[in-house]
């Protein structure tokens, strides 16, 4: 907004704006400071979704609509600061997906990258390019862009997971492509766990050999809780704690050692009982899931109580601290992967 100016100038400017608006022209000086901010001021707000509450609505949806009819039976975790945008932070989408016993969610693929973080249930699976990732609580399963995926629950209990996708990022770039497979379910192409054995143990099939069957850029799609929890526990037992993060491990893509997918980074943290992390800001708005324990997130001084399976969205550049009442284990995902590629990522540790 321009400051002082005579009434006459204001009138002349308003006339100019009105005349040129139909031609797709508008004055920078009215919006410059909103466009080029000194620090990030996210339209997204800090918000916590208590798991029991989300689950309740999700089960109600389960009584009314099938997974197959819905294609994906998901409640979007929409940031209250960005109504109608299907975003949890400006660049990312999150939703809670329910697959009831005996249901399938039909096979499709799209440009958007997806992660699933399992909240409850065991034995249902996502099939990625025809290979089942059989899920257990707190497993991380990926469906990287344009890989075929369908979901099924052959167990007798509901299966619920958190979906994290880069839907708003892809929307920003106008680069969405999607297709359905004519069959509901992708034909099985490999035994469950095959990819984990080939690409998940810091090894890979020799390049060009018949065993090297997965896409070179994104071969791995399953990071079981059993493995990451053991690694995190061992790290916590044997290393100095980071004052700002607690004990933290990032999930990586074994193809290049980088983020799990081109647009999404993910990590886990362990904060010991009684520990309080030091204040930290980062430019990647982050979605946290409480895996174990209880505590408090202090976001710009405001307290948010945390219990198991709660989801907390912390937008860019909010000052964040965690206080652990019991040993606290967190999963987090963010757009750090995109920001680093664009040379935008920053953090500030106090």
The answer to whether 320 touches 314, Cβ cutoff 8 Å, is yes
How many residues sit close enough to ligand GTQ to count as binding (CB under 6 A)?
Answer: 9
Q: Closest CB to ligand GTQ belongs to which residue?
A: 163
In angstroms, the Cα distances linking 197 to 74, 204, 205, 315 are 31, 9, 10, 36
Site string for ligand GTQ, 148-177 (x = CB under 6 A): -x-------------x-x------------
145 scored as a contact of ligand GTQ (CB under 6 A)? no
124 scored as a contact of ligand GTQ (CB under 6 A)? no
DSSP character string of 47-92: EEE-HHHHHHHHHHHHHHS-HHHHSS-EEE---TTSTTS--SBTTB
Q: How far is the CB of 178 from ligand GTQ (least distance, A)?
A: 8
Q: How far is the CB of 88 from ligand GTQ (least distance, A)?
A: 11
How does 179-190 read in b/e, with b if 16+ C-beta sit within 10 Å?
Answer: eeeeeebbeeeb
346 scored as a contact of ligand GTQ (CB under 6 A)? no
Q: Where are the alpha helices (DSSP H) in 146-190?
A: 167-172
97 scored as a contact of ligand GTQ (CB under 6 A)? yes
| Choice between 113 and 297, CB closer to ligand GTQ | 113
**Listed residue (91, 144, 157) closest to 114, CA to CA:** 144
| Choice between 74 and 291, CB closer to ligand GTQ | 74
As a whole number of angstroms, the distance between CA 208 and CA 166 comes to 31
Q: Using CB under 6 A, which of 40, 66, 70, 72 touches ligand GTQ?
A: 72
Residue 338 phi, psi dihedral angles, 5° rounding: -65, -45
95 scored as a contact of ligand GTQ (CB under 6 A)? yes
Binding site for ligand GTQ (CB under 6 A): 72, 74, 95, 97, 110, 114, 149, 163, 165
């Amino acid at each position: 907004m321009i400051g002082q100016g005579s009434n006459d100038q204001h009138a002349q400017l308003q006339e100019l704006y009105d005349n040129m608006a139909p031609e797709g022209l508008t004055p920078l000086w009215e919006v410059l400071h909103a466009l080029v901010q000194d620090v990030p001021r996210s339209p997204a707000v800090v918000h916590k979704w208590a798991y029991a509450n989300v689950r309740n609505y999700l089960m109600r949806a389960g009584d009314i609509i099938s997974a197959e009819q819905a294609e994906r039976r998901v409640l979007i975790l929409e940031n209250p600061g960005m109504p109608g945008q299907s975003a949890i932070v400006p660049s990312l989408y999150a939703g809670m997906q329910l697959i009831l016993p005996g249901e399938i969610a039909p096979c499709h693929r799209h440009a958007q990258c997806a992660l699933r973080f399992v909240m409850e249930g065991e034995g249902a699976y996502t099939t990625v390019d025809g290979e089942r990732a059989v899920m257990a609580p707190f497993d991380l399963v990926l469906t990287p862009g344009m890989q075929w995926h369908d979901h099924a629950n052959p167990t007798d209990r509901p299966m619920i997971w958190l979906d994290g996708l880069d839907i708003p990022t892809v929307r920003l770039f106008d680069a969405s492509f999607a297709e359905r497979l004519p069959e509901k379910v992708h034909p099985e192409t490999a035994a469950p766990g095959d990819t984990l054995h080939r690409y998940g143990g810091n090894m890979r099939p020799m390049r060009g050999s018949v065993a090297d069957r997965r896409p070179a850029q994104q071969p791995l799609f399953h990071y079981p809780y059993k493995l990451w929890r053991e690694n995190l526990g061992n790290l916590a037992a044997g290393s100095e704690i980071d004052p700002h993060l607690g004990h933290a491990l990032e999930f990586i893509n074994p193809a290049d050692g980088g983020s799990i997918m081109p647009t999404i980074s993910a990590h886990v943290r362990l904060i010991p009982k009684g520990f309080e992390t030091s204040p930290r800001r980062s430019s990647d708005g982050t979605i946290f899931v409480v895996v174990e324990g209880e505590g408090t997130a202090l976001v710009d001084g405001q307290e948010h109580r945390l219990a198991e399976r709660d989801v907390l969205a912390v937008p860019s550049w909010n000052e964040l601290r965690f206080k652990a009442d019991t040993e606290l284990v967190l999963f987090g995902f963010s757009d750090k992967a995109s920001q680093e590629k664009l040379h935008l990522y920053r953090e500030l540790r106090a």
